[in-house]
Structure 1
């Protein structure tokens, strides 16, 4: 196949090539373009994804708000019980770390259940509070392993900074050691950012494919995010302004902001897997 300049432009402008093995009518869907018999799927903008999220939540905010409050309360209660029960001694410190690990696992499962509830809402399915416990009932070990792998990879990304810190500790009197530490810190931050973007879809992919191996889920997330990292990063930072409003409102505004942000991320995932185009 000979790639024309237009096709190359489409690729780097964030267009996905659709499956061309089937026939298409002359009347294309609103989110497609055709050139030389090749059909491209246009990715939705941040504003379009946010509009979808608002449309889904309009008149149905009570369920995600209630689920968010319930999730946060459950996590806070568990952490509070841990702090009260664990003794304040050396043995208690070890137990504290173990219980914190359990709390983190519980929190991850519950947060994934919250995403399941929003995913059902976005797809027009009946969403209920019991959706929160879906990950506890369906291959919970996969959620835990995904979280552990992500944590270990994050630690690996911090190795350059740890190395820079050691160099600075040994040669702190030299200016070059400080420069090296700062540069290695920037390297670590870049690696963590890339890691976060690459594997941002793993828990949503798990919800659609709970019986896939963790390796396959992570590979799929990385493939989906190719060419979409900047778009997703822009989507995340676009919530900065509304998050400030949540802070100004003493946190009350986050009751509506958190479901809105989370639903928009769910819509981003649905756009990645071409689910929006199938609605026409």
Structure 2
């Protein structure tokens, strides 16, 4: 008989995240500030565009090329934190070593989720949850194929989409606090959330 996986509670996942971040807040906050500056720079570059179609087309390509590797770098960084390995600021940019693959994965996921939203909102949301673990999977399996990466995310998220949704929803008050503090609270909230989600991945991949 297949043994049922014993899942940690949301509270336990969050406690683990706080403990793992104890000696890594400096690098985590530095990464969040860097990502915010990069996002602001991209927004500034495209603010002068008047043609909406051009903005969406060109900006989406730039975002995919720039942010996809950074998202992979974030996954690598927080996996190092969760696994008690040395976490370095440079981890953020390590995703550029797999730029073609990670951009391909990102574009494919975006297309699939976009089609889901066109069909109906709920399928789009479900698909976004289904493929939410692709960066972690690629981070741990750099030689995996693009399609195989998506399949593996779908496999480990089977029966776990609701858990993922509820876990993410449990941070809603923190995100409201970010709004009232004009994003400043994000220096604490975003690393806390990311570390918690990383622990969630480490559980379900088993």
Structure 1 and Structure 2 fold alike (TM over 0.5)? yes
* 1:51 alignment partner in structure 2: 15
Which structure 1 segments of 5+ residues have no match? Answer: 2-16, 18-38, 161-187, 275-280
* 1:119 alignment partner in structure 2: 79
Bigger helix share = 2
Which structure 2 segments of 5+ residues have no match? Answer: none
* 1:105 alignment partner in structure 2: 65
Q: 1-side partners of 2:106 and 2:54: how far apart?
A: 21
* 2:118 alignment partner in structure 1: 159
* 1:130 alignment partner in structure 2: 90
Instruction: Tell me the CA shift for residue 100 of structure 1.
Output: 4.1
SS at structure 1 position matched to 2:4:
strand
Q: In the alignment, does 2:52 pair up with 1:81?
A: no
Q: Looking at CA atoms only, which structure, 1 or 2, has the larger radius of gyration?
A: 1
Q: 2-side partners of 1:252 and 1:101: how far apart?
A: 29
* 2:147 alignment partner in structure 1: 215
Instruction: Tell me the CA shift for residue 194 of structure 1.
Output: 1.1
Choose between structure 1 and 2 for higher RCO, CA contacts under 8 A separated by at least 6 residues: 2
* 1:150 alignment partner in structure 2: 109
Instruction: Tell me the CA shift for residue 99 of structure 1.
Output: 4.3
Stretch moving more, 207-216 or 103-112: 103-112
Query: Structure 1 residues 95, 55: closer, same or farther in 2, change over 3 A?
Result: closer
**Contact kept? 2:130, 2:157, Cα under 8 Å:** yes
**Contact kept? 1:110, 1:135, Cα under 8 Å:** yes
Instruction: Tell me the CA shift for residue 41 of structure 1.
Output: 2.8
Match of 1:251 among 164, 183, 195: 183
* 1:228 alignment partner in structure 2: 160
TM normalised by structure 1 equals 0.68
Instruction: Tell me the CA shift for residue 96 of structure 1.
Output: 7.0
TM normalised by structure 2 equals 0.91
Matches within 5 A, 1:168-179: none
Instruction: Tell me the CA shift for residue 122 of structure 1.
Output: 0.9
Q: 2-side partners of 1:105 and 1:265: how far apart?
A: 24
Query: Structure 1 residues 95, 268: closer, same or farther in 2, change over 3 A?
Result: closer
* 1:169 alignment partner in structure 2: none
Query: Structure 1 residues 198, 93: closer, same or farther in 2, change over 3 A?
Result: closer
Bigger strand share = 1
Query: Structure 1 residues 96, 51: closer, same or farther in 2, change over 3 A?
Result: closer
**Contact kept? 2:24, 2:87, Cα under 8 Å:** no
Q: 2-side partners of 1:229 and 1:154: how far apart?
A: 15
Matches within 5 A, 1:191-202: 191-202=123-134
Runs of 4+ in 1 over 6 A off after TM superposition: none
Instruction: Tell me the CA shift for residue 49 of structure 1.
Output: 0.7
